[in-house]
Amino acid sequence: MSDSDKQIDDDFDFSRKVYLDLIATGQEALGNMIDVAQESEHPRAYEVLSGMIKNVSDINDKLMDHHKKKKDMQKVDPKEAAALPGPTTNNVFLGSTTDLQRMLQDASKDIVDITPKEE
């Protein structure tokens, strides 16, 4: 992992923690504001409560967008993916049958038989 990748991960973790703290604080404040609105029965208190609910909801959306952005950043660029070796589906041997036999014989010399021998 490169330094920039580590920094991105650290920044993501820090930002995520801030969002979670904001959500927790907002939920606590919502509980308090609900009590105030019920006690006062004042229209302005309910208006403030409605704004707080919207703010907490927006922070939740931002947290989810934050995850999506990190996931998008981790995707491999198509240009880079083309440079990476992928699975080989079709192999073509360009040579004579004699060349192929020699290659196979040389490869068989490297094979070691590890099957247990019966006594």
Burial of residue 30, with CB atoms counted within 10 A of its CB: 0-12 exposed, 13-18 middle, 19 or more buried: middle
The total number of structural domains in the chain stands at: 1
Q: Along the 119 residues of the chain, how does pLDDT read in single tens digits? A: 677 778 888 999 999 999 999 999 999 999 999 999 999 999 999 999 999 999 999 999 999 999 898 888 877 666 666 666 667 777 777 888 888 888 888 877 776 667 777 76
Candidates 23, 10, 13; CA nearest to 67 is: 13
Assess if residue 46 is contained within a domain: yes
Assess if residue 115 is contained within a domain: no
Q: What is the CATH number of the domain that holds 8?
A: 1.10.287
pTM: 0.58
Candidates 20, 100, 108; CA nearest to 62 is: 20
Please tell me the predicted confidence (pLDDT) of residue 19. Answer: 93
Assess if residue 59 is contained within a domain: yes
